[in-house]
Structure formats: structure tokens, C-alpha cells
Structure 1
């Protein structure tokens, strides 16, 4: 009979890329890892991994088996969560990290219902930029994040599509490049200050988007400061449209036509780590976020 532990070993070898890496991840000896995989292959009479190269690779049959194995592992995780939560007490704290481009209101509505159901749990809510959310998640600081999939190791993270945010390059109508509607080239824009929001990660997961090459640049801590600078006619930059609806309607900010910087859609996901235990409150938040998506 195939065991769950055997599937975990196979998953570790595939995701780590080596038997040694799998052994270190699972805190087992390399020989034990090799033995468990060989036993699994003998049981099902299928060679799952080719050992011909330095790094083991899935055979064609192994790829089919592995796809199904990952589904079984996910189902087992969900079953364990159900079993754990049936007798679980609520955890003392849950941490959510939300990208700065997404409005807080939909999340706060969920937090409000959670507060009423689980009053003993302290909910921490953090606004993060660029690589900040994924850094917090992978370092086990955050239980759930809402962010883009940029730089996310998909084998370590469970992700569900959550929302789309529209990012528009804008400036004050009296800002020089905004006075005409023709497309400005990159070289034309290099003499005008681009205002960008700083990455809140510490560096390992740093990201950068929509940066004008070779241009003047100011870096600020958040979008509120960025909007103030743009309204003061001191620069230009991309801002989520939900943050500037009034300014766009009143003409206080206008869209810019810049080469390579058209209005774009940012696809956001709700994410949590696959190998982290999920408490009853975090699971409830996850399910309610899924319904909001």
C-alpha cells in the first residue's frame, strides 16, 4: 500500500532537485530517502525518477504519477486541517500581509466578521509593497498574503486567484508631459521625475516594476505620499485607479501617454505556505477570502 510518507519523500526529491536536498528538508538520511523511493517504485512497478543525470528527473510515467500524488497530498492536508480544527482552540494571533496596491476595505469586512467569531485572536494586518508580502510569507511572519505571483516559488505556496487591480501612469495636468496627449518616448521622459514606492522587503525578495531606465527618480514609502507629490506637480508615476477616482473625475490628475507605460492590470492572488500548519482562524479567513474572489 502506498503511504503518505512515500509521497512526501517523492515530492521533496522533485522540489529540492536532489536526494541530499530532500534528506535535509525532511531531516532524514540520504540512504533512507533512497530506500523509501525505491520501495515505492517496487510497490507500483514503475520507475518514477531517472538517475542517469546528476539531478534526478521524473520519467514520463513518473510525471503522471507525481501530478496525481500532489493532488492526494493537498487533499490529505485539507483533511488534516478539518480534523485539527474540529477540536482546535483558536490561535492567539493571525498575520495578514496585503500588497499596497489593493484596497483594505474588502479585507476589513472579513476581519470584522472574524473578530466577532473569534474574539480571543489578535489579527495583525500589514500593508506591504513589491516583494514585502512574499518575504513575510516565506519567512513564516505572515499566515496569509494578498500579492502578485512575481518571484513566488510555486512549489512552496498555495495560491488562489483573488482580484485584478488597474495601474495607471498619471500626473497633474499642469505637469509638462501631461500638457499634450501625444506619446512621450522614454528619452523624453528621462528628464522628468518618476515617483516610485519603495519595496518593503529586506532585499532577498526585492522586486521592481515600471521603472523608467535612466530617468530621474524619487522613492517614497507609500502611495499616499506618491499621490501628494504628483498633485504638487513634482513628478509622475503609476497609481492604482481605485486610489485616485476622485482626482481623475475632477481632473486633478490625468493619464499620461508614455512609451511602454500603458495602463495595465495587476493580477493578485491570496497565498499561504503549503507546509505550514493552519489554525482555525487562519482557515476561516482563507475560506472567506476565497468567497470574495
Structure 2
């Protein structure tokens, strides 16, 4: 059994066919068939049922594949650690993805520590909404992300960073002297952040907290969403910290209605376990962890655990 055979097995299962797997691995389809055949002969086990149009794992194949995934994961993590332990040049560039609701002041000290960071390393910051930050890590296009952790993924190392309270808000000039009831919500547009601007929008995959009825205005940028809400173009959920002055002045009002209650956005600091960290990345990650642990909410949690 070889590592390449396990990679072949994994790709066939993921892609659903020998042909698609061969294209993904830049190999010929016959070479993949031979690799799987040798694997089956070595252990005298039938991994795939080939009677159907698409190859499907047999019961024995499912068990073998589950253990193969464990082996592949361990090998890849070992490969990453080996690269980190070896001699690496200083990274020329690091890419950091931030959710638009991250308050940069909370991480600014990490990137201002010039005595710890070589001046030759360039930094690239970009904002991504919803699951964008986590997906960039999985795709290997980012080194770190501070964003919502959409789901558990064994490839991602993470630590809770901040809880952002999102309240349904509306400008006083849009609300006027009306009270918010179901009919008001149905007749006034909700401002919603969508990665593709609402194109081909599927209601069944609506973002958390979106009101099911009523007109919508889709935007791709959270800052634009805030400006539209504050200026009375529609209503929408905003972080309490970003409208605290308007709430105090009374120019923005929190909507009180059972169907659109406040929600909490949980942000995590994250990195991919499968992407080796060079010397600068290690410094940044260690500083991010320290910064995270120093935040009041996380400090309280750690004391409770002790």
C-alpha cells in the first residue's frame, strides 16, 4: 500500500468517478484503475462496486476508506510539521481575511509590533462576509482569518475571538411615528448582505435572521449596508457598537418584534492546519492567540475553566 494509492482512492470517492479523479490528479484513467486494483489485490478486498454507472464503495470499502482518511490526515499534518521544522526563508507575503464586523483595534497591536516583524514581509488584508473567511483558509488562499466559524472542520485550528451582538435597526426618519408590526415589516425593505448581490437568490438558503417576507435590498458590503440603514433606505441588523452613537442620539432605533430578535455573531481566529507556517506566520499566530486570550470575554471564560 502506498500514499499515492490512498490519494487515488480519496479522489475517486470525492469526485464520484475514475475519469473525474484522473483529471483532478493529472493522470490517466487506466493508471488509476491499476492503482486501485493493486490495492484490492494486496488486501483481497473489493473496495468499489463497479456494477453501477458510477463507482460506489462496498461495505468493506467504506470501512477501509474511513481508515484511509485518518492515515491521509496524519500524513498531511506530519508533512506540514516537517516543512515548519525545516529551514524556511522569511515569507514575502501573508494574507489575512477579516470579517467586516471585526474591530481592527482589537488586533492592531499584533501588526504594529515592528520589532517582532521583518519589514520585508508584505501584508494583505481583505474583508469577506459570511463563510468567506473560512473558505479562503480551506482553499489555501489565506494564512489567517478572523471570521465566523460556519461549521466544524478538522483542517481548521480555531479559538473563539469575539461575540458581536446584532440588533434589528431602523432610522427614525424611515420609521417616523409608526410602530413596527408585521405589516410594517412586509412593506419596508430589509438590507441584506449577500456575496453575489442577491443574484439567483435561493430563499431556502437565506442568511440567518433574514425576514422571510417583505422586499429586500441586497448588498455585497457591510459598510454600505450600515450607511443604507442609518440613512433610512431600509432596515437591517447592525452591530450595536457600530451604531451606538446613533442609538444614543435617537436617530437610529432598535426594532422590537418577536419575528426579528437580536442575534449573536461568533467570530473565531482561524488558520489551516494543512498550510505550513513560516517564521513570520508563527509570530503572528502566537500574537493573535495572546491578544485573543487578553480580551475581557475570553479572560472570564478561561478563569471559569480553572
TM-score (norm 2): 0.71
Could you tell me which residue of structure 1 aligns to residue 169 of structure 2? 170
Specify whether residues 18 and 284 from structure 1 end up closer, same or farther in structure 2 by C-alpha distance, changes over 3 A only: farther
Q: In the TM superposition, what are the counterparts of 1:156-167 in structure 2 within 5 Å?
A: 158=156, 160=158, 162=160, 164-167=163-166
Specify whether residues 81 and 258 from structure 1 end up closer, same or farther in structure 2 by C-alpha distance, changes over 3 A only: same
Could you tell me which residue of structure 1 aligns to residue 53 of structure 2? 54
Specify whether residues 50 and 158 from structure 1 end up closer, same or farther in structure 2 by C-alpha distance, changes over 3 A only: farther
Contact 2:197 2:218 in 1 (8 A): no
State the alpha-carbon separation in 2 of the partners of residues 22 and 116 from structure 1. 44
Q: 2:17 matched to 1:18? A: yes
Structure 1: stretches of 5+ with no match in the other structure: none
Could you tell me which residue of structure 2 aligns to residue 68 of structure 1? 67
State the alpha-carbon separation in 1 of the partners of residues 28 and 250 from structure 2. 66
State the alpha-carbon separation in 2 of the partners of residues 134 and 236 from structure 1. 28
Could you tell me which residue of structure 2 aligns to residue 127 of structure 1? 127
Specify whether residues 145 and 177 from structure 1 end up closer, same or farther in structure 2 by C-alpha distance, changes over 3 A only: farther
Could you tell me which residue of structure 1 aligns to residue 185 of structure 2? 189
State the alpha-carbon separation in 2 of the partners of residues 95 and 5 from structure 1. 31
Contact 2:49 2:57 in 1 (8 A): yes
Specify whether residues 78 and 141 from structure 1 end up closer, same or farther in structure 2 by C-alpha distance, changes over 3 A only: closer
Q: 2:80 matched to 1:84? A: no
Aligned partner of residue 31 in structure 1, secondary structure: helix
Deviates more, 1:200-209 or 1:258-267: 200-209
CA drift of 1:130 comes to 4.3
Specify whether residues 110 and 254 from structure 1 end up closer, same or farther in structure 2 by C-alpha distance, changes over 3 A only: same
CA drift of 1:92 comes to 0.9
State the alpha-carbon separation in 2 of the partners of residues 118 and 205 from structure 1. 45
Q: 2:96 matched to 1:96? A: yes
Deviation string, structure 1 residues 36-73 (Cα, Å, up to 9, x no partner): 11222222333232223222222333333323322322
Deviation string, structure 1 residues 186-234 (Cα, Å, up to 9, x no partner): x432322333346378979998635556644445564344334433444
Contact 1:115 1:121 in 2 (8 A): no
- Paired residues in the alignment total 287
Could you tell me which residue of structure 2 aligns to residue 255 of structure 1? 254
State the alpha-carbon separation in 2 of the partners of residues 284 and 11 from structure 1. 34
Specify whether residues 104 and 17 from structure 1 end up closer, same or farther in structure 2 by C-alpha distance, changes over 3 A only: farther
Aligned partner of residue 190 in structure 1, secondary structure: helix
Structure 2: stretches of 5+ with no match in the other structure: 294-306
State the alpha-carbon separation in 2 of the partners of residues 120 and 289 from structure 1. 20
Deviates more, 1:65-74 or 1:223-232: 223-232
Contact 1:173 1:179 in 2 (8 A): no
Could you tell me which residue of structure 1 aligns to residue 29 of structure 2? 30
Could you tell me which residue of structure 2 aligns to residue 231 of structure 1? 230
Contact 1:132 1:200 in 2 (8 A): no
Aligned partner of residue 89 in structure 1, secondary structure: coil
Contact 2:160 2:267 in 1 (8 A): yes
Specify whether residues 111 and 5 from structure 1 end up closer, same or farther in structure 2 by C-alpha distance, changes over 3 A only: farther
TM-score (norm 1): 0.74
